[in-house]
Amino acid sequence: PFLVWHPTVYAEMLADKLQKHHCSAFLLNTGWTGGSYTNGGSRIKLEYTRKMIDAIHDGTLKAMVDANELVSTPIFGLRIPKSLPGIPSEVLDPANGWADQEAYLQQLERLAGLFNKNFQEYASKCPPEVAAAGPSLPVENSTDGQRTEKPHSIVTNPGTKRNFKSTTVKDEL
């Protein structure tokens, strides 16, 4: 295989580089928005992807992070800009792009379930704070039938020291 070490080794390498060089990392959705291929979704226009990249390069996005001009998505807890010049809100915030909000939440929960299931393979070598940063599926409150989501317990930034190594992974290096 191309990646021979446990994924936590690569996570630590990335965290070390981010900290050492005082840089930020951003996750961009360059795929589908507004639904799936079969129910009204569309590819994000290259024009919008370019504007997101420009906002990273010119410091606009970093300034928004520093000023906390962000909103958090449900379940995954991703922090997204409230707005960026020239980019519609339905592109920035996936929830705004779906006409059927119930279908959006169902897909979000489905994706989180798949993510959590896949993560089980790696969980034993991850520190608890890394595992806690994953998606939080809603749980039904048995007393009132309401669904609540546990809060995400980790916020990352380049100034935070992270230790992803377990003793067994450290020995592999």
Q: Which domains does the chain have, with CATH numbers?
A: 7-166 (3.90.228.20)
Question: What mean pLDDT comes out for the span 57-64?
Answer: 95
Write the DSSP symbol of residue 152: P
Question: What mean pLDDT comes out for the span 37-66?
Answer: 94
3-state DSSP call for residue 46?
helix
Nearest to 40 by CA among 107, 114, 138: 107
Q: State percent of the chain over pLDDT 90.
A: 53
Whether 171 shows a pLDDT value over 70: the answer reads no
Whether 153 shows a pLDDT value over 70: the answer reads no
**What band does 132 get if pLDDT is binned at 50, 70 and 90?**
confident
Distances (CA, A) of 158 to 15, 21, 23, 146: 8, 9, 6, 37
Dump pLDDT digits (tens) for 79-128. Answer: 999 999 999 999 999 999 999 999 999 999 999 999 999 999 888 888 88
Higher pLDDT, 1 or 59: 59
Higher pLDDT, 163 or 139: 139
Q: What is the mean pLDDT of the chain?
A: 82
pLDDT at 143: 62
> How many other C-beta atoms are found inside a 10 Å radius of the C-beta of residue 8?
20
Question: CA angle, 81 as apex, 113 and 152 as ends, to 5°?
Answer: 40
Question: CA angle, 118 as apex, 8 and 127 as ends, to 5°?
Answer: 35
Whether 6 shows a pLDDT value over 60: the answer reads yes
Contact in structure between 48 and 30 (CB atoms under 8 Å): no
Higher pLDDT, 121 or 154: 121
pLDDT at 164: 36
Residues whose CB is less than 8 angstroms from the CB of residue 4 and which lie 6 or more positions away in sequence, other chains included:
none
Write the DSSP symbol of residue 81: E
Whether 14 shows a pLDDT value over 80: the answer reads yes
